[in-house]
Structures are given as structure tokens and as C-alpha cells.
Amino acid sequence: MQHRKITRVLTLRCIRAAAMALVALPALLLVNPAAADSAAATCAGKPGVKPGDYEYELQSGGDTRSYRVHIPAGYSADTPAPIVMVFHGGWGTGKYIQKQSRMSASSDKHGFIGVFPDGKHRTFNAGGCCEKSMRKNIDDVGFVRAILDKLDHDFCVDTRRVYATGFSNGAMFSHRLACELSDRIAAIAPVSGVIMVNECEPKRAMPVMVFHGTEDPRSLWQGGLGDKDPSKGVRDSIPETMRKLTTRYHCNTSAETTFRKGNVSCDSYRGCDGGDVSLCKIEGGGHQWPGGDGVWEGKLGPVNRDISASEMMWEFFSKYRLPETSTTQPAEPVVTQ
């Protein structure tokens, strides 16, 4: 397995890895012992990998594409680990969204592998956005499929527990993945981004958790484009986004409030074909990742500190996995035994 290890302070990392291993190891175990035995058999012969950050390249669509991988403390080459893919915003990088989202800390805590792809032109083709990736019709869905194939080759992964999230343009792209890669993705959690594809015909229904600030100046709660948004295209309002999702997945028309803390409230639509569709409303929140590192807060609004979106979405993700056989069936709930 070819890779380039990122330089880091080894002494502190090793101490931290040893301490976290005892905590993270139970999170790596599947709740179904029979499924764990079957999945572990597919990992036979795969090399062990030390916890830390790695950079990789692969060929996709005739281009050399790159992505980062965070291996959590407690990772074992014979215990299948879930995957969380995190897509950066416009003009971002995989390295930056890893820092902004603080997803690596959640990865170490819960035992999933974090993956942070780089957009070809520092953007992803989300359909109606953004920039060169959209105009040149870059096949980013194919890129994600290639990454998942490579991860399955390089690591011991649970291919039924692959999840996608992203920020801004990356959030829009996660919506596209729900439409076009539902055979590989079990659930999504977009942050500060709406649906930008005109047509959506997923192979299976998708659980969705949306995070959005009411004072987002780039992706306005009421729709359209803000004065501070230099990109082009139409943005749906958040109510319209939720209408599309709940209609697509045949959810109940009314929601129930399932979470409140400070300026954050989450409403969940039940009765959907493939798991809950939820909206976490960040009152007064800007174009930011809740609980993450702030980005140009003077221009893009404040970061909410009442919650960690990374922690909340993992709690949501961990409830679902892909069906074992049919890719057209909705995600199955994970039943604790």
C-alpha cells in the first residue's frame, strides 16, 4: 500500500493513541456478531496501519485526484471500521475541512475512519454548483466511488456503514451523493448547503440530517443568494429543501422536536421510507460548521458552540447501515444487542 505519511509529533500521538485505544475499540465492533465474523473474513491479510493522517492519490476520470485519510486510535486490521466522508466547501481542501470540522477527534472517539477528499478545482460538482468543477462537469461521483473501492482494498472497512457529510459546496455534493450513490452511502448530513440537482432518482431511500444557520449569508434560510455570495445559481430555501426531502422519501408531513440546546433545535420527520429526515436549526448561526473552527466570522457569521455537528451527526449515522443484500432496500436500523 503506497502512501506518504504526514509529519507529526510522534511522542504525543503515541501516548494519545494508547489512551484512546481502550475507549475507541468497542465502537469499532459491529453490534451483530455474525455480521462481524463475516466482514472480518473479508479483511484477512490486510496490513495493519498506525493511527494518524495519511495522504493518497488515485486516477479518476483521467485525472490524478487526492484525498486524506484519518485512521483512528484503536483501528484494527481485522475489525471492520465505518467510514465518514467529509467534503470541503468552495476553495477549500481536504486538509482544511478536517481541521474546520474537528472530525478527527470524533473519529478517534468513536472508531470510524475519516476521509477528506480534495475537489479537482477546489470545488465539487454538486450539479448546479460550483465553479470549474460544475462547468467542466467533473465526475466527482465517480471519484467518490473510486475512493471507496480503494479504501476497501487498503483497509478493513465496513462497506455497509459508509456516511457522507460536507460543508457549503461539500454539503451540496453530499445531497448529490444521496441521489446518485445511494448504493454505497448509508446516510448523509449536509452542513450549510442545499440540494443543487434538478433530478434525483436514488436506488434506495436515505436518512438525512441537515444543519443550517438562520443567519447564513451564503445560503440564505429563505433562499436565493446573499450579498456576500460570489457564486452563481439559485439556492432553495431551507423549508423548500426539507419539503423536497420529505416528499422524496415519503415522510410524515409534520415534524416533532427531538433536540433542544441553547440556540439549536432539531425537528425530525418520521415515517420515511429509509429512516428519519431531520433539520437542526441554528438560530442566529452563520455559514459555519457548528462546534468547529470558525471561518471568516466577520463575513460569514458566528460559529455556534452549543453543539458539535460532528458528534451529533455521528450519533445519527450510527443508527443506520446499508442492507446486506439488496441495494434498493432502505437503510436498516442498527439494533444494539
pLDDT band at 199 (very low <50, low <70, confident <90, very high): very high
Find the mean pLDDT for residues 260-272. Answer: 98
Find the mean pLDDT for residues 202-212. Answer: 97
Question: What would the pLDDT profile of 229-259 be if each residue is shown by its tens digit?
Answer: 555 556 899 999 999 999 999 999 999 999 9
Find the mean pLDDT for residues 286-297. Answer: 95
pLDDT band at 41 (very low <50, low <70, confident <90, very high): low
Question: What would the pLDDT profile of 67-101 be if each residue is shown by its tens digit?
Answer: 999 999 999 999 999 999 999 999 999 999 999 99
Q: Coil, strand, or helix at residue 32?
A: coil
The confidence score (pLDDT) of residue 26 equals 40
The confidence score (pLDDT) of residue 331 equals 72
Find the mean pLDDT for residues 117-134. Answer: 91
Q: How many CB atoms lie within 10 A of CB 24?
A: 23
Nearest partner of 334 among 21, 29, 114, judged by Cα: 29
Question: Domain 4-333 carries which CATH code?
Answer: 3.40.50.1820
The confidence score (pLDDT) of residue 2 equals 45
The confidence score (pLDDT) of residue 111 equals 97
With beta carbons less than 8 A apart as the criterion, state whether 291 and 311 touch.
Answer: yes
Q: Coil, strand, or helix at residue 16?
A: helix
pLDDT band at 128 (very low <50, low <70, confident <90, very high): confident
Task: Flag whether pLDDT at 29 surpasses 50.
Answer: no
- Measured in whole angstroms, the distance separating CA 325 from the mean position of its chain's CA atoms is 23
Sketch the domain layout of the chain as residue ranges: 4-333
R_g of the chain computed on alpha carbons: 19
